Amino acid sequence: MVAVQNAQSKPRILELLQTSLTVTIHDTKWIPGTAKFVALGEYARNTGCLQVFELQDNTLQKAQEIEKPARFKCGTFGASSMSERQLATGSFQGQLQMWDLEHTKEPVYTATAHASIINQIDGSGGQSNGFGPPEMVSCGSDGCVRVWDVRQDDQPVSSFEPLKGSQARDCWCVAFGNSYNDEERCVLAGYDNGDVKMFDLRTNKLRWEGNVRNGVCGVQFDRRDINMNKFVVTCLESQFHVYEARTQHPHEGFASLTETTAKGASLWKPAHLPQNRDVFMVTAGDGTAHLYKYKYPDQRRVKDANGKAMGVIGSLELLAEQSLSSQPVTSFDWSADKEGLFCCGALDQTVRVGIAIKLNTV
């Protein structure tokens, strides 16, 4: 059951600026430490489009536009330092690359990551407060999840692949987490058949798996660089799931809850607020955005009849919801520098900048 905050004091989602484009946008990411964001996608002629937009005097200005041979599907700054701000991208041709946005003629790193489309990538270890080596994780329609060290060329440091002779399921999304020291790091992966898998990169083994009975569009830990606390899984047909990750039962796994939004709309990648890990946004196939807060239970861990520790799931509060587009909002990114500020892209060929206000009241 989801609680709803009092209408007078609850946060609101506001659109500030928008720009219509002649290209299809698949991902949007803020450039760390700036008032700029990148929009990644494709031109109608099936080439890659990388555009940089800047907030300037209450307007949205295009600061840069780059065309590349391969269409861009996804991007992340997670494996790059704040000083370098290098953008990692995944393409429809299976290329994983890193770009210096000041010198974009050639990538600074290239790997042939997958046989075809890279559905999603994530990065970890590049930030000033991160642990472990700078790494990227990619997933593709070949069913493979691969981890890449940006200091090594064209060979993954870990690869989790379908069993030989089994049907390869399309892996739609990946995310890093549990990177709280230089040894520990986990990867979450979501698949088209509803499988959710957690891989432990220290042991290079599958740590946990479950199935949510719907294709998994997005996964995210509430923080990459802490002892894993909780994570969100978004799905087709308007469902998402929140998992309590502090306690893993040997048989029952992680405690979880399921929530449903607008009927029939797919829910894209969840996005936790950088300034408050208990607040997160999910965007939907009907163009709406839904802002939630997770509330912890009084007791996060209990013991079962056999004395084994098991987690206790909390509850959700719907803080705000807003229609942003008539088409699916397929990308969303919070600003790490300004609380509540976000950029997003939708299939109406429009990028938007907005803000969630009154977040200090939650």
Q: pLDDT tens-digit profile of 326-347?
A: 999 999 999 999 999 999 999 9
CA distance 332 to 340: 12
pTM above 0.85, yes or no: yes
Question: Helix (H, G, I), strand (E, B), or coil: what is residue 213?
Answer: coil
The 10s digit of each residue's pLDDT in 93-141 is 999 999 999 999 999 999 999 999 999 999 998 765 668 999 999 999 9
Task: Give the pair of three-digit tokens for residue 1.
Answer: 């059951």
The 10s digit of each residue's pLDDT in 136-165 is 999 999 999 999 998 887 799 999 999 888
232 pLDDT higher than 70: yes
Mean pLDDT estimate for the chain? 95
Query: What pLDDT score was predicted for residue 3?
Result: 58
Query: What pLDDT score was predicted for residue 9?
Result: 78
The mean pLDDT value for 266-276 works out to 96
Strands (E) in 236-285, as ranges, are 239-244, 256-260, 271-273, 276-283
The 10s digit of each residue's pLDDT in 160-204 is 999 888 889 999 999 999 999 999 999 999 999 999 999 999 999
DSSP-H helix ranges across the chain? none
Query: What pLDDT score was predicted for residue 5?
Result: 54
For 4-13, 61-70, 266-275, which range has the lowest pLDDT when averaged over its residues? Answer: 4-13
Write phi, then psi, for 354 (nearest 5 degrees). -145, 180
Query: What pLDDT score was predicted for residue 2?
Result: 63
37-70 burial, b for 16+ CB within 10 Å, e for fewer?
bbbbbbeeeeebbbbbbebeeeebeeeeeeebeb
262 pLDDT higher than 80: no
Query: What pLDDT score was predicted for residue 83?
Result: 86
